[in-house]
Chains A and B, each alone.
Chain A
Amino acid sequence: MSTFSISAPSSLASHMMRRDSLSKLQSEMNRASREVATGRSADPYGSLGGRAGRALGLHGEAARLESFLTSNAVLDSKLTASESALGTMREAAQSVLTLAVGNATSPQATAEEMQRAARAAFDRIAAVSNTSHAGRNLFSGTASDAPALTAWSEPGPGGTPPEAAVAAAIGAPPATAAEAATKSAALKTLFQTGYDGTFYGGAVGTQSSAAIDSGRVLEFGVSGEADAFRDVLRGLSMLASTDVAQIGDGAAYQAWMQEAVAALGAGAEGLLSAEIDLGEARNRLDETKLAQQDRLSLLQSDTAALEGVDPYDAATRLTELQARLEASYAVTARLARLSFLDYL
């Protein structure tokens, strides 16, 4: 009898091997069915390996982009509202400017209306400057709960109405050109040092800004203390406080009107350039929005590539595993019944 014989695995080992392969197939099937149902890998860290950190980071980036898209849309509507308010204010100033230019050298038929028109424009500009968007004032700087410009006869935050402050600075209408020059200078000083608190009630020396993208901050908006507003209101005050038809002296009249027209002209130009700045800011926001939308869809496809599972692939795997499991069941049952005992 040879000592070398072909040996088979022990009965116990064969049995354990079949049991092991069945339970492995069953757990693989569980995994495949989870992947079919959720569309994502059932063991994300196992399948991602070293890219797990990147996958986790992608979710954060995508969330940030989505929130920027929302907040930038709100910011855009705020800027639109500011832009159209500026347009309205500029038109009000422009109409008085046209009137004044027509009466610049000597009073014409329309001269009597100028004072009324100037007061109306002043009040209109003050009213529009207090436009709010979602409850926040647009032209008060960062004190968006405070009023911007004060109407002609309303008391300002300091208690004095603009009318009274201007009257205090100018007094009676100028009689000579020299008086006109002095009174215009006094008014200029008022609009430089006595502006806040009387004409303007918002925050001083501030600039609105907001984060629009990762690492990018947009500075936007113009507040009622800008030079453009000061000039417009100064010009309007000169016409509103004095009935220029009453200025007897031609030289005084011309000097006064020249100063008013210059102020209104400079102010209207300033308001226009502020409008243009806002338009540019909106353009930048738009570009940012497009870039962010592109980045977001890229991130979403990256995330799908990293964590997602092709549903057709998962379904195919599931079907194949099912077939293998059924075959294994059949084989195990047959082999279990196959024993030498049955033939003895």
Chain B
Amino acid sequence: MSITSAFNASRSGLSAAAARAGLTSTNIANSGRASYVRRDMTMVGSSDNQGVTITAIKRDVDASLQARQRQAAALAGFEQGRAEGLALYTRTLGEPGDGSTLPDRVSKLQTSFDLLSSEPADTNAQKAVVRAGEALARSLNESARALTAARADAYEVIGSEISEANTLLGEIERLNERLDGSETGAAATAGLQDERDAALDRLSEIVDIEVRARGARVDVYAGGGAPLIEGREIAPLSYDPGSGVLTAGAVDVTPGRPGGRGFAAGSLGAALTLHDATLPEMGRQLDALASRLVLAFEDADASRSPGAPGFFTDAGAAFSAPDGLAGRIAVNIAVRPEAGGQIRRVRDGMEGVPGNVAETGQILAFVAALETPQSFDPQAGLGTDMSLGEYAATLVGEQAGATARAKAAAEAETATLSAIAVQRSETEGVNVDDELQKLLQIEQSYAANSQVITALTRMMDSLLAAV
């Protein structure tokens, strides 16, 4: 023990205090960054057991909370993406009571036929029937167009999300490389780890992932187990629109495949299920409504010869196939005077000869067609025996309801995500008040160490003066 060793001890104290001040200032400067993890330091006694040295910059991440947060982010991304993608289509379906929903249009057609049956000779009542039919056909056409547009939008989202995911995978692997070569406990390492965690968090919003540490590197797997980054190999994502298959490298990771090793959540999963499953199913339900409209009116028309179109046509011809019929359905031009047709045909039938002006037989047949329960394909998921109006109401209720459900689920998942984030921030975040209190203590320590040095200097001076 000598004055020199006392000097060394105090000097080490000063440099430790300075380093700690630097760390505290870094923490405070980054306190506004959401992905920043608080830096702490470990201090041990120096090699001669008298001073203090800083051995490592710690960055404590609660791994299980982080994994839970990434899961919640994937689910929230899925529901959010689903709600937004569906809303593009379902907002065109209207709301109860606004008079323009599909069931409202069917009911308007029904009431106009009812009124015609009590005033069959009235040309205004006949025109009202044709107008109501045209309004219904137009609503179906518009819904079909909105559905196609929503599907195209989902396709674009798929493309942009896949390219972002591949970019992130490349970045993560690059950071893996750099972290492999850097020393643990250095300040630069903590910064790289922050970057890598931010990239993984963003990736987990796009697809659900599992992250496993392998030394200084991480391996990234899809939620179902397929490798995305393993060892030094990246398996980039790619999508084949024809078959609807998403692959990571050579492995099929399409969401929704039972027993598959692929994704189940994330905004990419949402866009894929919308594009390949949900929206096509909704389209089939619309087409089923259009088909039964065309067929029911064809069957009810006693004047129609086989193969000729009825009141509702498939782009001007008789019914051929249900696919896409909602976009092609139109009122027969034979009843539209502006297209050279005759409006009396709503009373006499599409190919009927001009009959008695107050004849109601054909009109009542059309009324019955709209009232009678039709059989719908149970595969479409909306039930089997119901009238056209009931089917339209069920269709709109289910499809618009799906969007409302997805929104509610997204809100719930986002709330879970926020709760986990708050929990993580207790151990990993920067509390500015806490850092300021640490700074007080660092200031005191620095002042004390410099006082010691001043005292030792005076002692040295008095010794030298004595010589």
Query: CA of A70 to CA of B434 in the docked complex: distance in angstroms?
Result: 77
- Chain B residues, Cβ within 8 Å of A50: 397, 401
Query: CA of A125 to CA of B241 in the docked complex: distance in angstroms?
Result: 79
A56 within 8 A of B: yes
- Chain B residues, Cβ within 8 Å of A211: 113-114, 117-118, 364, 367
Query: CA of A225 to CA of B400 in the docked complex: distance in angstroms?
Result: 56
The answer on a CB contact under 8 Å between B397 and A143 is no
Known A9-B429, A45-B401, A71-B115: A144·B121 in contact at CB below 8 Å: yes
The answer on a CB contact under 8 Å between B357 and A52 is no
A75 within 8 A of B: yes
The answer on a CB contact under 8 Å between A40 and B97 is yes
Query: CA of A46 to CA of B32 in the docked complex: distance in angstroms?
Result: 36
Q: Which of A10-18, A108-116, A173-181, A324-332 contacts B (4 or more CB under 8 A)?
A: A10-18
**Which of B414-445 touch A at CB < 8 Å?**
418, 421-422, 425-434, 436-437, 440
- Chain B residues, Cβ within 8 Å of A16: 34, 418, 421
Query: CA of A109 to CA of B232 in the docked complex: distance in angstroms?
Result: 130
Known A59-B104, A71-B115: A9·B97 in contact at CB below 8 Å: no
B360 within 8 A of A: yes
The answer on a CB contact under 8 Å between A60 and B400 is no
Interface residue tally on A, bucketed by range:
35 or more
B412 within 8 A of A: no
Residues of B in contact (CB 8 Å), total 64
**Which of A36-91 touch B at CB < 8 Å?**
40, 43-46, 48-57, 59-61, 63-64, 67-68, 70-72, 74-75
The answer on a CB contact under 8 Å between B393 and A145 is no
The answer on a CB contact under 8 Å between A59 and B429 is no
**Least CB distance, B261 to chain A, in whole angstroms:** 35
**Least CB distance, B72 to chain A, in whole angstroms:** 15
**Which of B252-311 touch A at CB < 8 Å?**
none
The answer on a CB contact under 8 Å between B96 and A48 is yes
The answer on a CB contact under 8 Å between A7 and B407 is no
The answer on a CB contact under 8 Å between B436 and A12 is no
The answer on a CB contact under 8 Å between A55 and B96 is yes
**Which of B356-396 touch A at CB < 8 Å?**
356-360, 364, 367, 371, 389-390, 392-396
B106 within 8 A of A: yes
B235 within 8 A of A: no
The answer on a CB contact under 8 Å between B436 and A60 is no
> Chain B residues in contact with chain A, CB under 8 A?
31-34, 38, 95-97, 101, 103-104, 106-108, 110-111, 113-115, 117-121, 355-360, 364, 367, 371, 389-390, 392-398, 400-401, 403-404, 407-408, 418, 421-422, 425-434, 436-437, 440
What are some 27 contacts across the A-B interface (CB < 8 A)?
A: A7-B431, A10-B430, A13-B422, A13-B429, A46-B407, A50-B401, A52-B396, A52-B401, A53-B397, A54-B397, A57-B390, A59-B97, A60-B393, A63-B104, A67-B111, A67-B115, A71-B119, A136-B357, A142-B120, A142-B359, A144-B121, A203-B356, A203-B358, A208-B360, A210-B117, A307-B96, A339-B432
